[in-house]
């Protein structure tokens, strides 16, 4: 959620910034709603104040045994009026909330301008695509028995897969490797969280109200949803909390499955395990003081990169352009891993700075000890990394001519193998 005060004061700036995303901010509607609200609210509060005074008077008069009937009439009328007005005010507030919740975040100055993913800016490259002396296979050809497409369809439906034997082991090893690295080398605190989340949590991180169609909703009166990313439960650990400055920065790492409806991606990445309704992910979440968030994004991105480096996977970092960046993010770096079978870099991690956008929705704050005033936290997160795509990348980048796959050095201790599928 944007800062309403900023909207009021810096309106032109906000409009221009949102325009870079291609979002047209309806300033007229907003101004109308806000002006009305301000009038009604201050009127309402003044009357409430009057009523409070009269009520106190009644109390005192009653004690002294004085006549209170005229005061009571006055109060009665006032109460009636306030009730009617509050109804209107509540409706107005609801309308304003709905409106402001659907406005995306402002983007940082250094976010490149552009329309879509083709305009994303490459920041740096690490490693280079390996030259193969044989015709490369894709991950399904490499592990056709261990990645069971039929079984996933039988059990559930399309975009569900079953991993068997060495692929299941590989994924499990990767999860341990990633979480361990982030805990012991990068200073994150490991958390385990619910995979089912409520509406408030999804509102807090920005998946709702605008992106309900991306989620799996449970048929349940509580209005629960399957979590689409650990970002939701983990960031919501901060909701309605006030942290002391000494406890910052907060750094969580969490492995969860992720459930996504993938609405609107029919026919896209239908082969293999690139895009699934259910996949595993290790997620990094940070909460920092406002002045530290730019640096924190660089740091967090570096942490995600460190996994790719340790696994010897070639990748590049791109800065998402204004037209491609997500609703809640102020700035996003995508890490894209080299996929030999597609001869392309594909997203394997997305690292974002949300600044105070989520924190305002979440009421996630901090303050200096002894200080009176609270400040909104800045939240960040990034995948470190998405598991099924890491499995895919390892299979394809480390494939050998004999059909086996060599295991990256960093992983050998976790898998107790130098080579799989041999």
Partner RNA sequence: GGAGAGGUGGCUGAGUGGUUGAAAGCGCUCCCCUGCUAAGGGAGUAUAGGGUAAUCCCCUAUCGAGGGUUCGAAUCCCUCUCUCUCCGCCA
Interface with RNA (CB under 7 A)? 4-5, 38, 41-42, 45-46, 48-49, 51-56, 58-60, 62-63, 72, 75-76, 78-79, 90, 222, 242, 363, 365, 367, 369-370, 372-374
* Distance of alpha carbon 115 from alpha carbon 321, whole angstroms: 7
* Distance of alpha carbon 284 from alpha carbon 188, whole angstroms: 8
Residue 110 beta carbon to RNA: minimum distance, rounded to whole angstroms: 28
Residue 160 beta carbon to RNA: minimum distance, rounded to whole angstroms: 23
* Distance of alpha carbon 30 from alpha carbon 7, whole angstroms: 9
Residue 76 beta carbon to RNA: minimum distance, rounded to whole angstroms: 4
3-class DSSP assignment, residue 367: strand
Which C-beta is closer to RNA: that of 70 or that of 184? 70
Which C-beta is closer to RNA: that of 194 or that of 403? 194
Which residues are CB-contacts of 184 (< 8 A; sequence separation ≥ 6)? none
Closest listed residue to residue 304, CA positions, set 272, 348, 265: 348
Which C-beta is closer to RNA: that of 37 or that of 126? 37
Phi and psi for 278 in degrees, rounded to 5?
-135, 120
Residue 49 beta carbon to RNA: minimum distance, rounded to whole angstroms: 3
Which C-beta is closer to RNA: that of 78 or that of 153? 78
Residue 132 beta carbon to RNA: minimum distance, rounded to whole angstroms: 46
* Distance of alpha carbon 198 from alpha carbon 137, whole angstroms: 42
Which C-beta is closer to RNA: that of 70 or that of 128? 70
Helix (H) or strand (E) holding 138: none
Instruction: For the beta carbon of residue 38, count every other beta carbon within 10 angstroms.
Output: 11
Which C-beta is closer to RNA: that of 90 or that of 298? 90
* Distance of alpha carbon 223 from alpha carbon 217, whole angstroms: 7
Residue 66 beta carbon to RNA: minimum distance, rounded to whole angstroms: 12
């Amino acid at each position: 959620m944007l800062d309403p005060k900023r909207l009021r004061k810096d309106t032109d700036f906000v409009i221009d910034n949102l325009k870079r995303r291609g979002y047209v901010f309806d300033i007229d509607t907003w101004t109308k709603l806000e002006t009305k609200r301000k009038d009604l609210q201050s009127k309402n509060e003044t009357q409430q104040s009057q009523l409070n005074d009269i009520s106190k008077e009644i109390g005192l008069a009653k004690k002294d045994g004085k006549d209170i009937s005229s005061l009571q009439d006055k109060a009665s009328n006032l109460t009636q009026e306030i009730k009617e007005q509050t109804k209107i005010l509540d409706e107005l507030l609801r309308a304003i909330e709905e409106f402001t919740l659907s406005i995306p975040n402002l983007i940082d100055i250094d976010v490149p301008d552009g329309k879509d993913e083709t305009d994303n800016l490459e920041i740096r490259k690490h490693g280079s695509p390996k030259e193969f002396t044989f015709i490369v296979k894709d991950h399904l050809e490499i592990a056709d028995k261990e990645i069971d497409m039929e079984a996933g369809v039988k059990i559930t439906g399309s975009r569900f897969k079953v991993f068997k034997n060495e692929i299941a082991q590989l994924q499990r090893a990767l999860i341990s490797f990633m979480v361990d690295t982030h805990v012991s080398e990068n200073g994150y605190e490991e958390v385990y969280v619910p995979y089912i989340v409520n509406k408030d949590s999804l509102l807090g991180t920005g998946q709702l109200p605008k992106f309900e169609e991306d989620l799996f909703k449970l048929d349940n009166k509580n209005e629960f949803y399957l979590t689409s990313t650990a970002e939701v439960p983990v960031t919501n650990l901060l909701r309605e909390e006030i942290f002391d400055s000494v406890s910052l920065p907060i750094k969580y790492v969490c492995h969860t499955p992720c459930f996504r409806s993938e609405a609107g991606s029919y026919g896209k990445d239908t082969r293999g395990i690139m895009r699934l309704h259910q996949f595993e992910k290790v997620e990094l979440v940070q909460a920092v003081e406002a002045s530290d968030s730019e640096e924190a994004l660089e740091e967090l991105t570096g942490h995600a990169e460190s996994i790719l480096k340790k696994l010897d996977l070639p990748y590049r970092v791109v800065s998402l352009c204004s037209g491609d960046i997500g609703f809640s993010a102020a700035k996003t770096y995508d890490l894209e891993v080299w996929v030999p079978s597609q001869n392309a870099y594909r997203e394997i991690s997305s690292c974002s700075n949300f600044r105070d956008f989520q924190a305002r929705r979440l009421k996630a704050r901090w303050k200096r000890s002894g200080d009176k005033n609270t400040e909104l936290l800045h939240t960040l997160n990034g995948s470190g990394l998405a598991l099924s795509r890491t499995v895919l990348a390892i299979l394809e980048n480390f494939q050998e001519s004999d059909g086996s796959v060599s295991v990256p050095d960093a992983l050998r201790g976790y898998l107790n193998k130098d080579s799989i599928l041999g």
